[in-house]
Every structure is written in C-alpha cells, then in structure tokens.
C-alpha cells in the first residue's frame, strides 16, 4: 500500500513556518512535498526531514502559475494519496494606497488568493473521489481587520479567509476538512529576525512573537480532528498581544 502524502506550499528558510509545518507533517508519517520558489531552501528543508528519519521531496513551484500547481499535485499523487495540503504562501506586503503601483496590488492578490484557489481546486479534485483529506490555509491579522498601510495585504488575506470558508462549506460534505489558521502577530522565525532585526528583538522582549512549534501544533490538531467535531478556524497570538 502506498504511503500517504502531504503538500506544503510556501516553504522558505529552515527556521520558518513552512519548514516547521513540513517537518511536523513528516512526523505524522506522511511523505511531504516541500514546495516553494527557492530550490536551495527547499532542498535544505527536505534534507533535514530525511536526516530525521522522515520522507520528503523538494519541488520548485510558483503558486500563481496553474501549470506548476497542477504538476505539484500530480507528482505527489504518484507517490501516494494526498492526505494533507497546506497553503502557506504569501508574505506581508506593506504599502499605502496613494501611489501604489497596480502591479504591486495584483501581485499580492495573486500570491495570497489566486494561488490559494489553484491549490484548493487541485486538492479538492484529488481528495473528493476518496472522500477524505485536510486542506489548511495560513491566515494573518489582516484576515480579520484592516490597517493603514496594509490595504493590498488586507484585501488579499480577507479574501482568502472568505474563500476558505466557502471551500469548507462546499467540500466538507465531500469528506474534506478545510481549516483556516489566523496567525495574529509576528512569527518568531528567521524571516522576521533577518528583515527587521530591531523590531523582532523588541517584540521578542515584549513576549509578542508567536512560537513556530506552537503554530504547527494548531495545524496538526486540525488535521487530526474527527469528522464529527471539525473546527474551521483557529486564531493564535501570544499572551502579551493586544487584540
């Protein structure tokens, strides 16, 4: 019998959410297809998983390109049925409305929302004939509320949340568990510490950076829920985060 597989889209550095989600999925006995844009980073994550006794395959994939997403799911299915699919793509994109280039707004939408549609469609098409599977999306503070200077990101993430809710209602009766994880605050990972080290250090001192393993716990919890007691959404923040 073939091993079940997982796909994690939006994988970056080793000390990042995509990498931690990939490692935790492998810990559940799944062969993980680690997908993202940078081969070097993907191979590092896959190597780390294999060094820990898990199974992983790195796949370079642009989630905004239909041909890439279709090929990603086909490759995973050749190894085994996709049991878990996580859409973690989409970085925080800052910018004021006045003077914003149209291409900037569209790029944010394409990564956060259009790519999510392509990913969800392929997950549904592969999971629904078997009547089981878990499809999870990474949300953000912007999923719930708008802020000055974050219009493009808020529009995309708010749209993603509504899309995920529609998908949950449509696909749930087909046996597919759709969930949305709101990460309400900065993540204590490599990306934030490298991009804005002073900000990250201050937030860490205040106890306002969210633990990577704690976030991953929520995804694994959702994946393990019984069909008679499914959650659609979990929101995560530190004890010190004002909300």
Say if residue 92's pLDDT is above 90: no
Q: Is residue 132 part of a domain?
A: yes
Q: Is residue 100 part of a domain?
A: no
Count of domains in the chain? 1
- For a pLDDT cut of 70, what percent of the chain falls above it? 100
Asked whether the beta carbons of 46 and 56 are under 8 A apart, the reply is yes
- What is the domain extent for residue 195? 5-89+116-147+162-236
Q: Please give the pLDDT value at position 191.
A: 87
Angle between helix axes 39-51 and 17-27 (nearest 10 degrees) is: 30
Q: What is the CA radius of gyration of the chain?
A: 17
Q: Is residue 99 part of a domain?
A: no
Asked whether the beta carbons of 133 and 176 are under 8 A apart, the reply is yes
Q: Please give the pLDDT value at position 1.
A: 54
For the chain, how many residues are written?
A: 243
Q: Is residue 140 part of a domain?
A: yes
Q: Is residue 102 part of a domain?
A: no
Q: Is residue 101 part of a domain?
A: no
Q: Is residue 74 part of a domain?
A: yes
pTM: 0.96
- For a pLDDT cut of 90, what percent of the chain falls above it? 91
Q: What is the mean pLDDT of residues 101-107?
A: 96
Q: Is residue 224 part of a domain?
A: yes
Q: What is the mean pLDDT of residues 76-83?
A: 98
- Round the average pLDDT of the chain to a whole number and report it: 96
Place of tokens 């259009």: 114
The H or E element that residue 210 is part of is strand 209-210
Residues sharing a CB contact under 8 Å with residue 31, sequence separation 6 or more, in sequence order: 3, 4, 5, 6, 55, 56, 57, 79, 80
Q: What is the pLDDT of residues 18-56, one digit of tens each?
A: 999 999 999 999 999 999 999 999 999 999 999 999 999
Full strand arrangement of the beta sheet holding 82-87: 55-60, 31-36, 5-9, 82-87, 133-140, 176-183, 233-236
3-class secondary-structure state, position 136: strand
CATH number of domain containing 45:
3.40.50.720
Asked whether the beta carbons of 237 and 199 are under 8 A apart, the reply is no
């Amino acid at each position: 019998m073939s091993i079940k597989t997982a796909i994690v889209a939006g994988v970056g550095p080793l000390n990042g959410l995509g990498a931690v989600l990939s490692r935790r999925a492998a810990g559940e006995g799944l062969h993980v297809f680690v997908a993202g844009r940078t081969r070097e980073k993907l191979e590092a994550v896959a190597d780390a998983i294999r060094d820990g006794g898990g199974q992983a395959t790195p796949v370079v994939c642009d989630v905004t390109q239909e041909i890439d997403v279709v090929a990603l799911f086909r490759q995973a299915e050749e190894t085994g049925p996709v049991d878990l699919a996580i859409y973690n793509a989409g970085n925080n994109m800052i910018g004021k409305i006045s003077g914003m280039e149209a291409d900037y707004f569209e790029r944010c939408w394409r990564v956060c929302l259009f790519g999510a549609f392509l990913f969800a469609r392929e997950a549904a098409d592969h999971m629904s004939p078997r009547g089981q599977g878990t499809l999870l999306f990474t949300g953000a503070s912007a999923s719930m509320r708008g802020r000055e200077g974050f219009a493009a990101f808020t529009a995309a993430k708010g749209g993603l949340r509504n899309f995920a809710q529609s998908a949950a209602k449509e696909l749930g009766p087909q046996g597919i568990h759709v969930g949305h994880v709101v990460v309400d605050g900065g993540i204590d990972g490599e990306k934030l510490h490298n991009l804005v080290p002073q900000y990250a250090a201050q937030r860490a001192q205040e106890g306002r950076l969210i633990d990577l393993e704690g976030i991953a716990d929520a995804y694994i919890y959702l994946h393990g829920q019984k069909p008679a007691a499914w959650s659609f959404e979990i929101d995560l923040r530190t004890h010190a985060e004002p909300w």
